[in-house]
Amino acid sequence: MITITKNEEVVLDQIKIFSIEYPDGVPIGVLRKDLGFHEYDLVEILEELAVKDLVIFKDNKASLSEHEKEINTVNSKKDLEELELNMKEKESYELIQKLVDEKNLISKYTLEGHLLYGDLKLTNFRMYHIILSLQNKGLLKTITKDDGEYYLLVE
């Protein structure tokens, strides 16, 4: 499922409408005139839709991609970031469940290494944000033992 903002949905819907009239791609000028968006904002939205593989945007023309995808719409970029963070948080929690030992412990450095360099490839900021969020929710607890720092997975 792909998540887009309301503005991205509006632009995508207009491209769908104009795609019949402009089979080689809808010119950006037509979209800008019809939607009333500033050109800079429209280009940013089109580039974001292209990254999500919903449109093809080149030579100042936008056309629909050939792939049918399930789309979820949120109100703003902030909502989109929160939704993505929640999905990353869930993926991180599932990873932690796989990595803990029989006592539900994992070394701080092992966990951070897996979050940074494993399949999730989180940034430092996002990794610490997720760990802090899991701690605030009572799912993860910091433990100091004689041989180092650990996280305890609370279940």
pLDDT digits (tens, 9 = 90+) for 86-98: 778 888 888 888 9
- For residues 132 and 140, give the distance between their C-alpha atoms in angstroms, rounded to a whole number: 8
Say if residue 68 is in the same domain as residue 87: no
Ordered DSSP codes for 111-128 = HHHHHHHSSS---HHHHH
Of 42, 73, 104, which one is at a domain's C-terminal end?
73
Say if residue 97 is in the same domain as residue 114: yes
| pLDDT surpassing 70 at residue 80 | no
Specify the pLDDT at position 46: 93
Domain of residue 20, residue span = 2-73
What CATH number is given to the structural domain containing 25?
1.10.10.10
Specify the pLDDT at position 68: 72
Say if residue 90 is in the same domain as residue 142: yes
pTM for the model stands at 0.54
Task: For 119-140, give one letter per residue: b (16+ CB within 10 A) or e.
Answer: eeebeeebbeebbebbeeeebb
Q: How many domains does the chain have?
A: 2
pLDDT digits (tens, 9 = 90+) for 12-21: 989 998 888 9
Whether residue 63 contacts residue 49, with contact meaning beta carbons closer than 8 Å, is answered with no
Of 26, 43, 73, which one is at a domain's C-terminal end?
73
| pLDDT surpassing 70 at residue 84 | no
